[in-house]
Copies of this chain bind each other. A is one copy, B any other.
Amino acid sequence: MAKNDVVSYSLSTIQRLPSYLRALNDLASQNEEYVTTITLGKILNINPMSIKKDLAIISSKEGLPHYGFKISILISDIETILGYDNTKDAVIIGVGHLGQALLSYPGFTNYGVNICLGFDIDSNLIGQTIHGVTIMPLTKLEDLIERLHIHIAIICVPKDAAQEIANRLSKTTIRAIWNWAPINLAVPDNIVLKNEDIASSLAILTSQMEQSMKRNK
C-alpha cells in the first residue's frame, strides 16, 4: 500500500498492532532481518492468514515471497500508525496502586501517548514526581487540562468517585477517557470512552478454561 494514503484501519487490526510491534522488536534484537507471517503467527498464537491480511494493509513495502517482510520497515510502519511520531499528551486521575502501575508501564510513548500530569486528592502524593510525572491536586484538574489542551484522560480513581470525575472532564478539552474504575460511566457523545473491564477479561478467561478442561478430560 502506498505511503501517505489516508486509510483507516479496522479496530481488529489496530488491536493487533501492538503485539506485532513487540514481536518484531524482539526479533530485531535477535538480529533477524526478515520475518514471515507464519513465524509471526507461531509467536503470537494467531492464524497467519490474519497477519497476512493485516500486513498487506499496513506495510509500506510489499513482502518478498519466500523471505517474508523486512522487520525494520514493519516496525517503522506500525510505529507511524500508532502515532509514535505524533505523541499525544494525557493525564491520569488517581495515582494509587493502579495509577502507579500504569505510570510504570514501559513504553506508553512507543504507542503514541505521553502522560504529562497526574492528579490525586492525597496530600502525601501531591507535589511528588512518580516515574517522571508530577502529581497535582485534583482541584486544579480543569484549569490545567484546559491550559495544556489535553485530550486524553485515564481514570484510576475508586469506583465511587469515577462518575464525578468523568462529569468534570466532560466540560474540558478531554475527548477520550480510558476508564479503569469498575463502573459503567455515562459520558457525552462527543467523548470516546474505553472501559478497561477487568471483570470482563476474567469472565472470558475462566469460561475458556472450563471449555478447555472439558475438552482435555
Contacts and interface: CB of A to CB of B under 8 A. Distances in A.
Greatest chain B CB density within 10 A among A104, A108, A209, A216 is at A209
A204 B11 contact: yes
Contacts of A213: 151, 175
Interface in A30-61: 43-45
Nearest to A216: B190
A202 B111 contact: yes
A14 B175 contact: no
Contacts of A17: 200, 203
Contacts of A23: 184
B97 A202 contact: no
B111 A199 contact: yes
Interface string A180-212: 001110100010111111111111111111011
Interface residues of A, number: 67
A113 B18 contact: no
Given A19-B184, A98-B98, A194-B201, A106 B207 contact: no
Contacts of A45: 193
Nearest to A113: B202
B197 A106 contact: no
B44 A184 contact: yes
Nearest to A102: B198
Nearest to A214: B8
Contacts of A98: 97-98, 101
A184 B113 contact: no
A23 B203 CA distance: 16
Interface of A: 8-9, 11, 14-19, 21-23, 26, 43-45, 82-83, 88, 96-98, 100-102, 104-108, 110-113, 151-152, 159, 175-176, 178, 182-184, 186, 190, 192-209, 211-213, 216
